[in-house]
Amino acid sequence: MTDPAIEAAARKEIERSGRALAAVRLAGKDARAEKVLLLARSYLSDGGHFLSKGKFIEAFEAAVICWGYLDAGLHLGALKLSDESAKEIFTV
C-alpha cells in the first residue's frame, strides 16, 4: 500500500518542476546548455512515467533531479528565465 503523503509529494514536485521547466530558455547557442535542458526535460518525462506507474518515490526523485539541472543551468548562465515573473520560482 502506498503512503498518500508520498504520492502527494511526488505529484507536487512533478507539477513544480513542470512549471520551472516552462519558465526557462537557453541563454545562447551552446551544445552544453542544450544538453542541460535536454537532461532536465528527460528527467521530468521520466518522473511522469514513474508517476503513471505508481512509483511515487522514483517520480519524486526524477522531479528533484530535473529541478537540480534547471537551477544549476541558471546559476551557470547556460539557461535564462523566460520572463521576470519566473523569478519567484528560482533563487537566481
User: How close are the terminal C-alpha atoms of the chain, in Å?
Assistant: 39
Give the pLDDT means over successive 10-residue stretches in the chain (92 positions): 90 94 92 96 98 97 96 93 76 72
Q: Any bridge partners for residue 80, and if so which?
A: 25
- For the domain covering 4-80, report its CATH number: 1.20.1270.90
Residue ranges with strand state E in 1-92: 24-26, 79-81
User: What SS3 class is residue 11?
Assistant: helix
Q: For the chain, what are the domain ranges? A: 4-80
pLDDT for 76: 93
